[in-house]
Amino acid sequence: MATVEGKTTARFEPVRAALAAHIESGDELGASIAVDVDGVMEVDLWGGHADEARTVPWSEDTLVTLWSTTKTLSSLAALVLVDRGALDLDRPVAEYWPEFGAQGKQDVEVRHVLAHTSGLSGWQQPFTMDDLCDWPTASARLAGQAPWWKPGTAAGYHMQTQGQLVGELVRRVSGRTLTEFVDTEIAKRLDADVQIGAREADWPRIAGLVAPQISGVPADFDPEAIFARTLLGSPARDEHVDTPQWRNAELGALNGHSNARGMARALSVISRRGEADGFRLLSADTVDKIFDVQADGVDLVLGVPVRWGIGYALADPRTMPGMPTGTICFWVGRGGSVVMMDLDRRITFAYTMNRLGDGILGSERTHSYIRHVYEALDATN
């Protein structure tokens, strides 16, 4: 059986065994898992390799690109500003970003951006990776774009645009970039190894992602459908990851770098209703706003049912197999990384890996680890 490093309390030993089995089988290349229970890191595990050639072990401080799990950090940044009164969820985005009011977007509210209901799920083509990595260009293009559906009436996953929209709001009201804000107000305050982009000094500890082969375009692909327009208007692809351009960019929907421990430490502030280790980042009232349902139905982009709250998806058995019901919010990244905040049990679960799996919302491995965590909890409660 593969060796898994780190610690776990006795009740979560099945989680260690599951990680070891997935590494042994080759399903996992390298990965980390963390479970914070009301401020106690009961699971802090890692194993496997940081490179496809299996020459570099995944170590205690290995980082990896999070893909869309990055959005959990960007949403937390926005909520901090909501809590401080700098952002109002019910005010128009254009009050903070005047240029955004063009093309019929004058009534798009901050909550629409955080709940994927603004109608801006992708950039109008042509739009390139170079455009995406140039902050002024990417923001100006969204500001001048008309929504693809009536804002607030439906959710369509803002695959790569949400980081730009939230990041621009953060810049406008705080005077700091999203990268700076996450570093100073989240990472440092919560002692969490998380960042948007990646400092060059940290590049040696970043695990390289290994992507699955992508199947061809389906015969019924409709380039005018919301899903197709979003996909084609979201230029970041697997080949861009782990490049200097990617790591130097500020992509608040995509290029966060962390590991399970870092994500669990950062997001446990939500599971613990705003306070972590004696430091209050959010009020309990602001945390409660996350669970104000903004959309509930088949997402126009993802094609599966999602209950969207403010900044996060909410627990729903239709969305994530094996996830219990309750006061739980979460989000996932391409390939299966995830962070879940369970407020009823005051538990935060995080998983990061470098071999990307299949699945729209989490891979089979993701669902397996969630199942093992909750089976362990049920057995001891």
Tally of structural domains, the chain: 1
Q: How confident is the model at residue 222 (pLDDT cuts 50, 70, 90)?
A: confident
Stretch 331-358: mean pLDDT: 97
- The pTM for the full model equals 0.97
Cα separation, 198 vs 221, in Å, equals: 35
Q: What is the mean pLDDT of the chain?
A: 96
| Over residues 234-262, mean pLDDT | 98
Instruction: Give the separation between CA 225 and CA 223, rounded to whole angstroms.
Output: 6
CATH number for the domain including 227? 3.40.710.10
CA end-to-end span of the chain, whole Å?
Answer: 29
Model confidence at 216, pLDDT cuts 50, 70, 90, reads: low
Query: Is the predicted pLDDT of residue 217 greater than 70, yes or no?
Result: no
| Band of residue 321 on the pLDDT scale cut at 50, 70, 90 | confident
When pLDDT is cut at 50, 70 and 90, the band that residue 140 belongs to is very high
pLDDT digits (tens, 9 = 90+) for 158-208: 999 999 999 999 999 999 999 999 999 999 999 999 999 999 999 999 999
* Average pLDDT score over residue span 14-31: 98
Structure tokens at 372: 């093992």
% of the chain at pLDDT higher than 70: 98
206-207 β-sheet, strand order: 195-196, 256-258, 63-65, 206-207
Q: Quickly state the pLDDT bin for 320 (edges 50, 70, 90).
A: confident
Tell me what the mean pLDDT of segment 106-135 comes to: 98
What phi and psi, each to the nearest 5 degrees, are found at residue 198?
Answer: -150, 125
CB 344 within 8 A of CB 298: no
* pLDDT value at residue 219: 63
Q: Which domain holds residue 107?
A: 4-380
* pLDDT in the model for residue 131: 98
